[in-house]
Amino acid sequence: MNIKTKRIKTPLNDKIVESLHMGDRVLLSGFVYTARDAAHERMLKALRQGDPPPFDLRGQVIYYAGPAPAKPGTPVGSIGPTTSGRMDRYAPVLIEMGLKGMIGKGKRSEPVIAAIKSHKAVYFGATGGAAALLAMKVKSSKVIAYEELGPEAIYEILVEDFPLLVVIDSEGNDLYSMGPKKWHTFKVIEEDERS
């Protein structure tokens, strides 16, 4: 597998998304929107009632995270990814409306992968357990919707060189299913410790 590191900026377009391949390392800069379960549920309810989403989804990236309270002089506290599967029932609709990227951790369902392929989107993985380090890549933060949800509100964050991995690319290649198969093809060469 040929692994590359690419610098990209939001908003994303088809050309950027199609240039990303499963396993690529990415440094993402620009505006990203945080949203977890409660915010997704609110967005879908609003859409079903004919109301617009709280931000224009076209070309945007949603980070499945709820930032911890910021310490003085910092835009956010720890900001690690949450399990993406909890957003699977909402994601296909948002992708259909123009969402181009999602950041989280864990596997995605077949309907999400089908939507990624149909609408040229991408799913990025962020490193779980590195929330404090990821916060250092956030340059500004403000609540733009559902403030009453606290950390589950929708935040607009400005990131710079936010480190990610392409988990599912626009062709549907999935690192969670294909990655382990690659590792099984490697042979372990044991050396005699006495030599």
Catalytic residue numbers read: 40
Structure tokens at 100: 């181009």
Are 108 and 84 spatial neighbours (Cβ–Cβ below 8 Å)? yes
**Alpha carbon distance 23, 71 (integer Å):** 34
Q: Identify whether the C-beta of residue 170 lies closer than 8 Å to the C-beta of residue 121.
A: yes
CA triple 134-31-170, angle to 5 deg: 85
Note the residue count of the chain. 195
Q: What is the largest CA-CA distance in the chain?
A: 73
